[in-house]
Structure 1
């Protein structure tokens, strides 16, 4: 019995380490290629047509461009989509989206922070505008700031209309959120440290069941489980850009 207990204690930590190593070492770009079907690809090898919502072409739509038609927020230059948000003038960060349509799958994006503005960041993820009970259909996102990467479930978190109203009511009264409510909100996201630079990177953002994972240059940097990630229809893939980001290539894959 003692030998059995000793062996069990030795094996349990190893299993945990092995699970962590498996998540970190997996290649989600390869998973998409091997298990999925590419349903969209854009290398941006063209010129934009003006400044309005559909100016980028190839099915892209900007939810904010028509607010400031006199300002160019999306410039196609030598195969690069250069986004420069007129956030102040539009009253909203640049929001650019494309049809997707999958349960499990994801997007592969080549991007760069060009260093043209302070605190450059990139939010990208999935939306279902047909979903009721969630603000603007926001489902889940990966967010890259200058110092961290966040994965967040909006569907069952802060964008759920009931949750949002409760949170907004507390904030309007300038009251502290109850501990259990704040803990619930915190459980809907994970934040990991990351230092931004001005190099090109390949980003992969996938959902598989109730898990979302974000990889950079072939390495999983963040993984999180939350029920909102399992939403059965990611209808849109979207970028939310408050300042400047360059996008070189986008592929959307459907696994199921």
Structure 2
């Protein structure tokens, strides 16, 4: 019997599994997925065994991570509902589906945690929000989950009412960053910089700028001001970003992301 079971082995489940292997042995982990070929490939890559059904995976693990998209939750819940016990810890990573809603579907006595990880977890550079009722889990259980989360990300506890905001801040936003990198790289390729070098310059700069915020704890606006010399190149670029609605576009994207997260059931 393994310890942590992943129901679903898509991009996020795989990223979490890969991180978990840094702190757990392969025989402490297991998974299941509807795609048999996917299961065989993950077993070959990681040495982690898989189960042939959602119910079997659930029945053989203490910690169950529901790593499937929200539209598949009802089917998964149907598969596992009658094998889950009060001793198990159910961990959901779906945006928009609350702990209360899951308790309604799985049973009021079931113990559920809610996460919002992101795909940089694949490189151990993720960010995860976690929410749960602290009164119903033991120290051993919360320590085990924290050990799992910190294997692939930084983790922060948040009130569940803020989980849709976490989805906007870190769950969905890597896509925006990739778009920014692509757009900025395209803009300098236009002036002759080779594309591979353009991506290297831009991606490393994004990484470094993020580190500046995290390490210095300075307000991002102050760090921006330090780059903007009076009458210089940077302030000219910043003025153009303001003119064409850079900040407003980000805020509008967040509004749409939040609305969709709240709507998903």
TM over 0.5, shorter chain: no
Q: Which has the higher helix share?
A: 2
**TM-score w.r.t. length of structure 2:** 0.25
**TM-score w.r.t. length of structure 1:** 0.26
Bigger Rg, structure 1 or 2: 2
- RCO higher in structure (CA 8 A, sep ≥6): 1
Q: Which has the higher strand share?
A: 1
